[in-house]
Amino acid sequence: MAKNNLSDLLKRYADGTCTDEERRLVERLYEENTNEALSKEPDGFQKQEMFNNILQNIQEQEVYREPKRSHIYKWAAAAGVVLAIGAGLWFWKRNPQPVVAQDSVAFKNDIAPGKNKATLTLADGSIVVLNDSKQGQITKQGAVKIIKLDDGRLAYKAIKGQTTETMLNTIATPAGGQYQVVLPDGTRVWLNSGSSLQFPVQFANSHRDVTLKGEAYFEVAKDKARPFTVDAGEVDVKVLGTHFNVMAYDNEDMVKTTLLEGSVKVTTPHSSGLLKPDHMASVDKHDDGIAITDADAEQQVAWKNNLFWFASADIHQVMRQLARWYDVDVKYEGKITKAFSGTLPRGLSAIKLLTILQQTGGVHFKIDGRIITVMP
C-alpha cells in the first residue's frame, strides 16, 4: 500500500466515505495492533512522515463539531493504527501540526493504565474484592443474589416472591480502577476510577435512591412509579428513566451533570434546574449556583468509551484525570500555561501517553515510582 493510498484511506475512513471492504481493512489493522501489518510497505516510506502528513490534514471541525459523531470514534481507531506503526499514539491539537520527536519522557519505570477492579462492601461491613472473584454467584444479601457476570459487571438478582429488609451495599473503584454494576431495578452504572456508589440491595416501592462519590454514567431503568435519585453531595439528580453522567470528585471545583437521553432535574440547597439532552448542569461547590449550558455529551462520557478527551484543558485538569486513572501523585516544577485539546486512548501505558503530550511541546514529564513530575 503506497503512502498516499494509506493517507487517503484513513481520511476517507474518518469521513465515512470508504467502502465496506476498506472499512474492514482499517478495522482489521487496528485490531491486530501490531507494527507488522504496515511494516512491509513496498516503497519503504517513512512511517513518521506519514503520521505527520495525516495530522496536518486534520481540521478542527473534524474533532469538535463533526455532525457524524460516530466517525470520530472510528477515526480514533484508524489513528490508533498510525500510532501503532509510528510515533507512539495520536493526539489532535487545536492547530494541527506535525508531531516532532523531542526528548523522551525521563523515567525509572513505566505505569500500566487502569483496569476493571473494585471492592464491594456488604451490609455487615465485610468486603469482597471483585477483581479476585470468579464468575457466578458471589454471595446473598437477604433475598437478593449478587452475581459476577463477567470481568467487568456485577448484578443483583432478587429471588421472586421474597423481600428483604433495607440493606445497603457499596461498590468502590480505587484510583486506577473502573467497574460496571447492574442495580436491583436493572439500572446499569459505569463507575470511573476513584469512585463509589452506595445503594440498597432492594429498592423501596416509592423511590430509588443511590449515593455517588466520584464519577459515574447511568442508564436508568424506566419506572414512573419510582423516581431515581442520585445524591452527589452538593447536588441531587432526579430522573424516571434516562442516560446521564455525573462528575462529583472531591478535588474538582464543579459538580457536572450531563444528559444524553430523557430529562433530569438537578437540585442544590438553593436552586434547581431541568436538563434536556446534550445539556450540562455545572454547580460551583462554593456557591451551589446552577449553570446550564450546551454540552458535547460524547466528550463528557469519553472515559466510559476508554478515551481521554481534552478541550482547551490546562495542565492541572489533564493531570487530575491522569492521576486518577494511573493511580499516581503529581508534582509540578515551574509554570506551564499550555492548553491541551484532543483525544487519547486510556489503554496506553503512562510513558506512551506522556510522550504524546510532551511531543506537542511546552511540557516535559518525569516518572519515578508512582510520582509524575511535570516541568516546562
Say if 226 falls within a structural domain.
yes
User: Considering only CA atoms, which of 245, 237, 239, 235 is closest in space to residue 288?
Assistant: 235
133-172 as b/e: b if 16+ CB within 10 A: beeeebeebebbbbbbeeebbbbbebeeeeebeeeebbbb
Q: Is the pLDDT of residue 52 over 50?
A: no
- Per-residue pLDDT averaged across 346-367, rounded? 91
What is residue 15's predicted lDDT score, i.e. its pLDDT? 57
User: Considering only CA atoms, which of 33, 13, 34 is closest in space to residue 24?
Assistant: 13
Say yes or no: 30 and 175 in one domain. Answer: no
Say if 336 falls within a structural domain.
yes
Say if 96 falls within a structural domain.
no
Say yes or no: 138 and 268 in one domain. Answer: yes
Domain range holding 255?
Answer: 115-300
Q: Is the pLDDT of residue 101 over 70?
A: no
Say yes or no: 238 and 360 in one domain. Answer: no
Say yes or no: 142 and 286 in one domain. Answer: yes
Residues 6+ apart with CB under 8 A from 149: 135, 155, 182
Say if 287 falls within a structural domain.
yes
Q: How confident is the model at residue 260 (pLDDT cuts 50, 70, 90)?
A: very high
Amino acid at 279: H
Say if 268 falls within a structural domain.
yes
Task: State the DSSP H helix or E strand holding residue 152, giving kind and residue range, or none if neither.
Answer: none
Say if 360 falls within a structural domain.
yes
Say if 57 falls within a structural domain.
yes
Q: What is the pLDDT of residues 316-334, one digit of tens each?
A: 999 999 999 999 999 999 9
Say yes or no: 30 and 69 in one domain. Answer: yes
What is residue 105's predicted lDDT score, i.e. its pLDDT? 74
Instruction: From 300, 332, 366, give the residue that closes a domain.
Output: 300
DSSP lists the bridge partners of residue 195 as: 173
Provide the percentage of residues in the chain whose pLDDT is more than 70.
73
Least confident among 98-102, 242-246, 263-267: 98-102
Say yes or no: 274 and 316 in one domain. Answer: no
Question: Which pTM value belongs to this model?
Answer: 0.75
Say yes or no: 308 and 293 in one domain. Answer: no
Cell of 321: 484525570
What is residue 227's predicted lDDT score, i.e. its pLDDT? 95
Q: What is the pLDDT of residues 261-297, one digit of tens each?
A: 999 999 998 899 999 999 999 999 888 789 999 999 9
Say yes or no: 171 and 287 in one domain. Answer: yes
DSSP lists the bridge partners of residue 210 as: 230
Say yes or no: 234 and 340 in one domain. Answer: no
Contact 164, 195 (CB under 8 A): no
Instruction: From 278, 300, 322, give the residue that closes a domain.
Output: 300
Q: How confident is the model at residue 27 (pLDDT cuts 50, 70, 90)?
A: low
CA distance 213 to 231: 9
CA distance 21 to 10: 13
Total count of domains within the chain: 3
Q: Is the pLDDT of residue 43 over 90?
A: no
Say yes or no: 278 and 310 in one domain. Answer: no
Say yes or no: 222 and 324 in one domain. Answer: no
Q: Is the pLDDT of residue 352 over 50?
A: yes
CATH number at residue 351: 3.55.50.30
Q: Is the pLDDT of residue 98 over 60?
A: no
Instruction: From 251, 279, 300, give the residue that closes a domain.
Output: 300
CATH number at residue 184: 2.60.120.1440
Q: What is the pLDDT of residues 79-89, one digit of tens each?
A: 433 332 223 33
What is residue 17's predicted lDDT score, i.e. its pLDDT? 73
Say yes or no: 184 and 236 in one domain. Answer: yes
